[in-house]
Structure 1
Amino acid sequence: MINYQVFLNHLSEYPQLANWSKELPQQIAAGLNESRFGDLPRWKEALAALPDLRPDTIALNTSRVGADGSVSDSQREQLHEALKGLHPWRKGPYELFGVHIDTEWRSDWKWDRLKDAIAPLEGRTVLDVGCGSGYHCWRMRGAGANLVVGIDPTPLFVMQYFALQKYLQDQRVAVLPMGIEHLPEKLQAFDTTFSMGILYHRRSPFDHLIALRDSLRPGGQLVLETLVIEGRAGEVLVPEGRYSKMGNVWFIPSTATLEAWLKKAGFKSPKLIDVSQTSRNEQRSTDWMKFHSLADFLNPDDPNQTIEGYPAPRRATFIAEKP
């Protein structure tokens, strides 16, 4: 079930991506190395247990990405158990043959906040950095993108993508097991690059912004979503220890500071299109993600503060253009 060949053939159709497509098999093998990831055999067993079902309808442009068709009760139960074997499900939601995968994040809410403000995706080549299981990749394809490349170094998310791909059956969408540091330098190939929920995890935000810039063709668009604080230009929160129980949060700028960072990294015309405080309805524990979630990360006496006393998660989305 883990086969990228058709996708690689599509990738080779693009002159700027053809050379990378030749390097990718080795990169993919390294990203899915069982000696590095002990749970991979178990996740592969879950994939193998998925029933063979033929979809009558496929939905990529609705809140619940998924497929539907004739299925028996026993097949639906088999599907449910196999998908549960890929717990935890972080980004979604999905709906497969009557099985609702109620993910930790209502990622459709994030998509709804940005979809009408970005450049139309019709016919574009798109990169989604830190894409998780690929929920937004499918939405991008549903919005008309011609090719969608998702990258995420977490093997479980790649296994979840292949579980979905078994039924969604669209080889112009792929989730690759790697981070942005594995892209060829100065690739300059994508019409649109998304980075959502990644910047605050990077020790060097400028290196990340420059890597995003270098992934884009001239005139390409960046869609950047990240944590922000309220404040003036130049203000940045550098958490001591953890932030919202996350140990890998380095820099949280104000929106004015982030706009300045984008300009300094070489983008033009940065535009703030949304600021939203994350609610407990948007990020929460479910039967498909049973670990702690946002409600456990906030001050129980003041939901506007994290458990550590910092401002509660607030997210901004910018669009910007590569000259």
Structure 2
Amino acid sequence: MADAETLRDEVDRLAPWFHNIDLGHGIHTAPDHFLGDYPRFKYARFADALPADLTGKTVLDIGCNAGFYSVEMAKRGAARVVGIDSDDRYLAQARLASAALGFADVEFRNLSVYDVGALGEKFDLVIFMGVLYHLRHPLLALDLIREHVAGDLMLFQTMQQGSKAGWTPIEDHPFHTPGSYDPPAFFDDPDYPKMHFIEWRFAGDWTNWWAPNRAASEAMLRSAGFTIEAHPENEVYLCRVAPLPYAEHGPSAVYPAKGA
């Protein structure tokens, strides 16, 4: 009971938590989370898209927060899991939660997504969940992940707004609508890839800068050198590193039909 009391005191000391994690002893880190049992209920929707057995694999969790996904990958047998975040309180939460759950060997480091090259290695699976829309330079982040740390698979999620339809890319955009000086009509198509910029706050959070529609999310992933293997949940994609240079990979292999 003394251990449980100590654990509860540490959970309270590090509050507030954004990940509601069951630490045992009847202790949940965010039992009153405004989203419910988050992120567990969301993870249940796409967990089957990931390899069930990660034995011998390495995992990098970018923007790990309190370490929920890091621990889940360790549960699947990953040989090495590294979680990075730029918030020391989140990292302290992650270390506490992983140790309490018996995964103290999960590594946590204070590192920005823009500095992933400092890790000096590539990982079999990169988790990039709930980070893109908080970044000032989202496409740069994807480029850096592809160049420096993505060895095979990437689990990706971002907040999306607008159309949920797919879009077949136009190989060469005309400057005008043929026969007139009007701009091309496809830019006004709600399904066209769009990246909505949020100048002030979204849901009370000033770090929510971007809200792409589905087509924009998929276009950015492809342009950064990822193929989309699965789309198991509305905002979630399982991607694989595509051969570079990207143009030689063949657009027919990675571009979904519009509306698919």
TM-score by length of structure 2 reads 0.73
Residue 216 (1) aligns with residue 189 (2): no
Contact 1:262 1:270 (8 Å CA) reproduced: no
Structure 2 counterpart of 1:317: 236
With over 3 angstroms needed to count, the CA separation of the structure-2 counterparts of 1:164 and 1:230, relative to structure 1, is same
Contact 1:153 1:178 (8 Å CA) reproduced: yes
Question: Matched residues in 1 for 2:121 and 2:95: separation?
Answer: 27
> Mapping of 1:104-123 within 5 angstroms?
104=33, 106-123=38-55
Compute the displacement of 1:153 (Å). Answer: 1.2
Which runs of no fewer than 5 residues in structure 2 stay unpaired?
A: 164-190, 243-260
Which runs of no fewer than 5 residues in structure 1 stay unpaired?
A: 1-71, 276-315
Compute the displacement of 1:116 (Å). Answer: 0.6
With over 3 angstroms needed to count, the CA separation of the structure-2 counterparts of 1:257 and 1:182, relative to structure 1, is closer
Structure 2 counterpart of 1:84: 12
Letter of the 2:233 counterpart: D
Structure 2 counterpart of 1:96: 24
Structure 2 counterpart of 1:227: 159
Match of 2:134 among 198, 201, 213: 201
CA deviations 1:35-82 (Å, max 9, x no partner) are xxxxxxxxxxxxxxxxxxxxxxxxxxxxxxxxxxxxx3x553343223
Contact 1:187 1:216 (8 Å CA) reproduced: no
With over 3 angstroms needed to count, the CA separation of the structure-2 counterparts of 1:122 and 1:76, relative to structure 1, is closer
With over 3 angstroms needed to count, the CA separation of the structure-2 counterparts of 1:203 and 1:127, relative to structure 1, is same
Structure 2 counterpart of 1:133: 66
> Mapping of 1:228-267 within 5 angstroms?
228-231=160-163, 232-267=191-226
Match of 1:174 among 80, 83, 107: 107
Compute the displacement of 1:216 (Å). Answer: 1.3
Contact 1:134 1:161 (8 Å CA) reproduced: yes
> Mapping of 1:261-300 within 5 angstroms?
261-269=220-228, 271-275=230-234
Letter of the 2:28 counterpart: H
Contact 1:146 1:172 (8 Å CA) reproduced: no
DSSP 3-state at the match of 1:233: coil
Percent of matched pairs sharing the same residue: 25
Letter of the 1:216 counterpart: A
TM-score by length of structure 1 reads 0.59
Structure 1 counterpart of 2:245: none
With over 3 angstroms needed to count, the CA separation of the structure-2 counterparts of 1:160 and 1:185, relative to structure 1, is closer
With over 3 angstroms needed to count, the CA separation of the structure-2 counterparts of 1:176 and 1:121, relative to structure 1, is farther
Letter of the 2:22 counterpart: Y
Compute the displacement of 1:134 (Å). Answer: 0.6
Structure 2 counterpart of 1:151: 84
Q: CA-atom RMSD, angstroms?
A: 2.1
Compute the displacement of 1:185 (Å). Answer: 5.8
